[in-house]
Structure 1
Amino acid sequence: MNVSTLQDIAAQSGVAFGTSGARGLVADMTPALCHAYTTAFINAVAPKATTVVLGHDLRPSSPAIAAACAAALTDLGLTVVYGGALPTPALALYGAQTGAPTVVVTGSHIPFDRNGIKFYREDGEISKPDEQAMLGYLVGLPKNLTVSALPSPAPQVEQAYVRRYVDFFGAGTLKGVTVAVYEHSSVGRDVLRHILEALGAEVISLGRTDTFVPIDTEAVRHEDVEQAKEWAELYDFDAIVSTDGDADRPLIGDELGQWLRGDVVGILCAQYLQAHAVVTPVSSNTALEQSKAFPQVVRTRIGSPYVIAGMEDALASGSELVVGYEANGGFLLGSQVLRDGQRLGPLPTRDAVLPIVALLCAAKERGLKMSELAHDLPKRFTASDRLQNFATLKSIGLIARLKADARLLSDLLAPGAGPVESLDETDGLRATFTSGDIVHLRPSGNAPELRCYAESNSAKQARALCDACLLQVLKVAG
């Protein structure tokens, strides 16, 4: 067995940590490599563990990767609780409830030829320092690795996730509400139906497929935008909901089949929970601050580890009810919520079910249509998209050029928005113009993509800014 640091192994393989978890090409995620990552996780981050929760999404490559991770855990003498194909937050929740670290095989929304592994301590998602500890750990790549078949899933893992929401919100709470679930290849499609039906909703299942669909809740595909509108004409529903591949990011649409932006979903969910402190990345809609609904707002770099770190700081400073969310709609609960004698415990990792159920309950309790929930928010609108197969080094080089050339920056990002009022380099390059328009470029941390976020006083202008900027990038960067 050849021994080297995980950092060296990662560099040679191309499988590396991104904004959340290790990601890489499926072809590079060999059983030996997955064994090494899992071994480093246990030894560097969770050395006292005796039991580990394991699960995966529905990508065709995920079960084999999970089996390699299970082999590593078994070789270390640990007991494996295999949850099967379940949402990432469901697996993380069971790990937290039982005091066990968790390993989840998922590529979330990234392209089909890629996959990833997420790691959780017993108290939540690993931090960036945890990642560095793993990368510095000496580990071996076994030459003759024996990988056994995965066992039958332990039913108690899914049951705990269902009980979490049914117990808190109450069975029958959504009676009279009709919800369409765009199932596609989401690992959460069945458990989401179980939860909604247990809450009393009538569920319409749509778009189920065994072919993997890379749903990105930040950059919704044109075909999914049009499909939701078509379904709204064919079916009578109060809302349409979906998730990304590993079901930690929600996609929520109204009765007209119009998808809500994830950062608007985050604000509405935080309001419903009556949060005191809200932590969110710099890319999220500034309606958060302009709403003046929360005593404390914290902005971070993009990625759930940074949001979690911000939540921990807010809790340490004495904030009572701390939540976090990302522009993709993934919602993190840092504090317990008490309501009508029921307790909703913390779950400091991205979750899709909480914002889905919270918005459905908010609309029913207020007697509003889903399309009316955001009417009271300040009129700020966001749009986002990405250039795929755009090398990270090319993105970094482009941003460096923009920082050094104020005229190029203005002409490329928003030529009609007036002078640049301020620049934010928290994560990528975010420019605010005197018109109030905002354009933000950032290399993706998970794939070779350049992401663009735009914000303006109208949805049309935000979309135009985003599209025009990416078109200009293609002309400039090629």
Structure 2
Amino acid sequence: MKIFGSSGVRGVANEELTPAFVARVAMAVGSVWATDTDGDVSVALGRDTRTTGRMFADSASSGLTSVGCDVDRLGVLPTPGLQAYADETGIPAVMITASHNPAQYNGVKLVGPDGVELARDALERVEDRLLGERFERVPWNETGDVRTVEEARERYVDGLLASVDREPIAAADLTVALDPGHGAGALTSPEFFRRLGCRVVTVNAQPDGHFPGRDPEPVEKNLGDLRRLVRATDADVGIAHDGDADRAIFVDETGTHVEGDAALAAFAGDELQAGDTTVSAVNVSQRLVDTVRDADADLELTPIGSTNIITSIQRLEREGTRVPVAGEGNGGILFPDYRLARDGAYAAARFLELLVDRAASDIAADHAGYHNVRVNVGYEDDAERERLVTRAEAAALDADAELTTIDGYRLDYGDAWVLVRPSGTEPVVRIYAEARDLDRAQELADSMHDALQQN
């Protein structure tokens, strides 16, 4: 795969990602879908709040209609809202989003008619068309039509409400502090949680593609406003989304950040039964490993990225294995019985169900005791990237630890682990480390960082 990374294709807008390139991606995937349906296909098209979103949506619409696809333009909505529309209507979809990336980025994510991100083999078909510029352009009088769909966000929220046990949440009289980070969730999550019966207070809730209040990634350093809002309003929980609202990260009632890995472990502890399997990525926390073991369940690891996790879930379910919950510690959680898609609003509602009986701090405490460190090492070009990867490999092979190479190089030391891998969405090599002692985790991350900097 040369074009599509761990979650679609992304780049700096008007530099790495241009309107012409997005049009070609749309022409390629439209050609594949038109071929699969004998030339009669409609495609849903959505975007997040980024300032370049309309420009790229226009490019994608032009590319799709040029190969004969009709286009349903849904406007700004969360990626899971687009996926819900695709699943309900049975048509494939294109989402213009860079998810958690900074404001200057944008990207393209492709979704099948079942509402599920395209699997690796389907993406490879699109990539082959794109690289070979084999587009099925149609005559002028056969180009596709475009229509505006006004109610997609409302349909998404209605679907969420129908999928959640509303009564106990409403009866708990919860106060929710919400930080949608100026992203697409600002247009859906406040209404959703109010209709669940919660008192909702917000920060960074105005849709704004400049992301003036915070960067789109809902990591601890970006959530100071939310932590202060929780404390100021005596909220029961704080909820933060990324730019396209397919992720949810939490803050407890004291204003303390809840590690995404702890939330995933809490969901797993609530859902897993003996014989079940959960799926996570190679940067999985020991928190989840311990929870899976306690439930007498199984854990399957994949390369990082929702596409890889979804592909594994699909295979396991075909084999008859129950997968009630899966995901990553970045807040991207899947509940396959609901929908095979990451959905920040739905995951947050499931967390509210846990709060009916317990405080968020108590839930987090059950999965505490580990410390995480993450370091990014930037690079300028492919040659420098390869040098960094080569140095990472040398350091990994020289280490006295159990080595896993599913995605990058993960070293397990028994009391701690470190992982180094190139990002699939940004020009950085990421270093992750976890240990029960913060100094130990920092030491492992620093050691790998030093190895990458050696000449």
> When the two structures are superposed, what TM-score results if normalisation uses the length of structure 1?
0.82
Matches within 5 A, 1:376-415: 376-377=366-367, 379-389=369-379, 391=381, 393-405=383-395
Q: CA deviation at 1:452?
A: 1.5
Is residue 2:133 matched to residue 1:139?
yes
Answer with 282-291 or 268-277: which moved more: 268-277
Greater strand proportion? 1
Matched, 1:199 2:196: yes
| 2:422 and 2:428 in contact (8 A); partners too | yes
Check if 1:305 corresponds to 2:307.
yes
**Structure 2 letter corresponding to 1:94:** Y
5+ residue gaps, structure 1, are: 1-6, 337-344, 411-419
Aligned to 1:57: 48
The 2-side partners of 1:86 and 1:297 are apart by 33
Taking the aligned partners of 1:60 and 1:17, their CA distance within structure 2 comes to 22
Counterpart of 1:232 in structure 2 is 230
Q: Are the equivalent residues in 2 in contact too, given 1:83–1:153 (CA < 8 A)?
A: yes
Query: What is the percent sequence identity of the aligned residues?
Result: 25
1:139-161 deviations in Å (ceiling 9; x for gaps)? 3699xx9x999865421x22332
Partners of 1:52 and 1:81 within 8 A in 2: yes
SS in 2 for 1:373: helix
Q: How does 1:237-386 map to 2 (within 5 A)?
A: 237-274=235-272, 276-291=276-291, 292=293, 293=295, 295-334=297-336, 336=337, 345=338, 347-364=339-356, 366=357, 368-377=358-367, 379-386=369-376
Paired residues, number: 433
Counterpart position of 2:169: 174
Contact 2:181-2:242 at 8 Å conserved across structures: no
SS at match of 1:125: coil
In structure 1, the partner of 2:412 is: 432
- What is the CA–CA distance in structure 2 between the aligned matches of 1:117 and 1:237, rounded to whole Å? 36
Matched with 1:20 is: 7
C-alpha RMSD over aligned residues: 2.9
Instruction: Give the corresponding residue for 1:154.
Output: 150
Residue type matched to 2:81 in 1?
A: A
Question: How far does residue 97 in structure 1 lie from its aligned partner after superposition?
Answer: 1.5
C-alpha spacing 1:376/1:183, structure 2 compared with 1 (3 Å): closer
Q: C-alpha distance in 1, partners of 2:441/2:163?
A: 38
The residue identity in structure 2 corresponding to 1:457 is: R
CA 1:390/1:476 → structure 2, altered by over 3 Å: closer, same or farther?
farther
Give the Cα separation in 2 of the matches to 1:86 and 1:225.
Answer: 22
Unaligned runs of 5+ in 2: none
For 2:20 and 2:87, locate their aligned partners in 1 and report how far apart those are by CA, in whole Å.
Answer: 28
| Cα distance, 1:63 vs structure 2 | 0.8
User: Does the 8 Å CA contact 1:392/1:449 hold for their aligned counterparts?
Assistant: no
Which residue pairs with 1:129 in the alignment? 121
The CA deviation string for residues 340-368 of structure 1, in whole angstroms up to 9 with x for no partner, is: xxxxx3x222221222111111121x2x1
CA distance in 2, matches of 1:30, 1:232: 40
User: Could you report, residue by residue, the CA deviation over 1:406-429 in whole angstroms, capped at 9, with x for unpaired residues?
Assistant: 69x65xxxxxxxxx2311111111
Q: 1:171 to 1:23 in 2, by over 3 A?
A: same
Q: Is the 8 A contact 1:383 1:466 kept in 2?
A: no
Task: Tell me if structure 1 keeps the 8 A contact 2:70–2:145.
Answer: no
